[in-house]
Structure 1
């Protein structure tokens, strides 16, 4: 699956993913996060800093600067 989506579509996909997790597990932190990420009538996030944070995350991903590997450490 090597389909390209826009930055906005990726944002909506991330929102949908978190919303689904919140619906399943009802983590309060997800509810608060989703409130800030929700879009206002003009299409901007309720928390204006969220879009800037998102764009930085996109740039890190484009630059291959995201380490999403599972790191397991033995108990000490």
Structure 2
């Protein structure tokens, strides 16, 4: 991935744009989440818990504790 710097707000908006596009492509399960993530006029999220979850996710990413690597489980032989 290209190394770019974003503010926390820009990263949030990038994530929102990405999820919004996935919703447009047919992932209807994202509709409720996007509604909760939407921003009010004061810049806060509709669901305050989403804003807190985002802040925690940013802190995890900055600390290097997010593991996004795919892990495949082997099938047990019968």
Q: Name the TM-score, length of structure 2 as normaliser.
A: 0.89
Corresponding pairs, count: 75
Spell out structure 1 runs of 4+ moving beyond 3 A: none
Q: Which structure would you say has the larger RCO, counting Cα contacts within 8 Å and 6 or more residues apart?
A: 1
- Aligned counterparts, 1:30-45, within 5 A: 30-45=30-45
* Bigger Rg, structure 1 or 2: 2
More helix by share: 1
- The alignment yields a C-alpha RMSD, in angstroms, of 1.0
Return the alpha-carbon distance in structure 2 between the equivalents of residues 33 and 69 of structure 1: 23
TM-score (norm: length of structure 1):
0.91
Long gaps (5+) in structure 1? none
Q: For structure 2, which runs of at least 5 residues remain unmatched after alignment?
A: none
